[in-house]
Amino acid sequence: MASLCNPKWPLLGAYDLCLKCSHYFNILDARGAISVTERVGVIARVRALAVGIAKAWMDQQYGSEKKSERSEKAAKPSTQEKKEKLAPVGG
């Protein structure tokens, strides 16, 4: 997955191919062509591919920011964001 960190790598194309892999897996699984033990491995590989593409996309979008700053923003929503997520009570 290290090659996906190239800033010029077409990530949407890679994501499209990942979706095709998932689709082909679903077709083969529905036809019973994949054993139960092999199924777990294929799901893990497709998931790892999707996670790698998502991480590469994040690096492309927010490459100038430090990773610690991004994780802090994601982990600690602001007070305003918390209030927006709450549903009104009563009424």
Checking 69-73 for CB contacts under 8 A at 24+ apart, the result is none
d(CA 31, CA 25): 10
Name the average pLDDT for the chain.
80
Tokens 């499209």 belong to residue? 16
pLDDT of 31 reads: 96
- Give the CA-trace dihedral at 43, 1, 58, 69, to 10 degrees: 110
pLDDT of 86 reads: 62
User: Which of the four pLDDT bands, split at 50, 70 and 90, describes residue 77?
Assistant: low
